[in-house]
Amino acid sequence: QVQFVESGGGVVQPGRSLRLSCAVSGVTFSNHGMHWVRQAPGKGLEWVAFIWSDGSNKYYVDSVKGRFTISRDNSENILYLQMNSVTAEDTAVYYCTRDRAKDYFDYWGQGTLVTVSS
Amino acid sequence: QSALTQPRSVSGSPGQSVTISCTGTSNDVGGSDYVSWYQQHPGKAPKLMIYDVTKRPSGVPDRFSGSKSGNTASLTISGLQADDEADYYCCSCAGSILWVFGGGTKLTVL
């Protein structure tokens, strides 16, 4: 069956780095763009980053540009989010989700919680 | 890019219909047929309910329907059931490869 499994979350100090992973199975990973979407505690959804199926193009919300990097390994079916210089505002559950036609998100992982705290 | 505007909460009794609005601008909702809706139960991942304004993915009941007029998209849920109680989010691809969500609406089934 289709599975999107995020990992790598945890407690991180402000200014430090963290790398999230999303292991995908049950779909042809290399055929689709992928996104990261986050949700701060008690808040709504926020789109964070998008990467094309071949990894050639990447897009970010303004608040993470220059700090976060989305990447993928199509040989291993894994999506990554490298988070540098994190701040308290980055505290959220991070979801990986599959892109459909640069339009909507169909499959979602269960999310991984990142807490930025000293 | 500002978030799309949704009512904070709506409610209805079992069997009734409710409509959730999602207001944007001509740069997102009004200028695009790429509006989608997501249902999220507490502690769970979002689930796609509507895409391309009116289309339902396989497995989503036809009690869920979408529409759009000008800069406002709407999600209507008819024949309310207890399990429909959840948070609902709209989303629009705002062009220039940028996605924006609404602030979310909490649906309470009375």
B2 vs A114, higher pLDDT: A114
The answer to whether the Cβ–Cβ distance between B99 and A50 falls below 8 Å is yes
CA distance B64 to B53: 12
Contact (CB<8Å) B102/A44: yes
- Collect contacts of A71-80 with beta carbons under 8 A, ≥24 apart: A72/A29, A72/A34, A74/A29, A74/A30, A77/A23, A77/A24, A77/A25, A77/A29, A77/A30, A78/A21, A78/A22, A78/A23, A78/A24, A79/A21, A79/A22, A79/A24, A79/A34, A79/A36, A79/A51, A80/A19, A80/A20, A80/A21, A80/A22
Q: Give tens-digit pLDDT for A8-45.
A: 999 999 999 999 999 999 999 999 999 999 999 999 99
Query: Which A positions 13-52 lie with beta carbon below 8 A of chain B?
Result: 35, 37, 44-47, 50
| Yes or no, beta carbons of B98 and A108 under 8 Å apart | no
pLDDT at A62: 93
Residue segments in chain B with a per-residue pLDDT below the cut of 70: 1, 94-97
Closest chain A residue to B105 measured between Cα atoms? A44
Judging contacts by C-beta atoms under 8 Å, the chain A residues touching residue B104 are: 44-45
CB atoms B97 and A46 under 8 Å: no
| CA-based nearest distance A98→chain B, Å | 11
CB pairs under 8 A between A and B: 61
- pLDDT value of residue B94: 67
Confidence of residue A1 (pLDDT cuts 50, 70, 90): very high
Q: Of the candidates B48, B97, B103, which has its C-beta nearest A105's C-beta?
A: B48
DSSP-derived 3-state class of residue B50:
strand
* pLDDT tens digit sequence for A58-113: 999 999 999 999 999 999 999 999 999 999 999 999 999 999 887 899 999 999 99
pLDDT band at residue A52 using 50, 70 and 90 as cut-offs = very high
In this prediction, residue B108 carries a pLDDT of 97
B100 touches chain A (CB under 8 A): yes
CA-based radius of gyration for chain A: 13
Say if the Cβ atoms of B98 and A45 lie within 8 Å.
no
CB-CB neighbors (< 8 A) of A102 in chain B: 34, 93, 97
Residue-level pLDDT at B28: 87
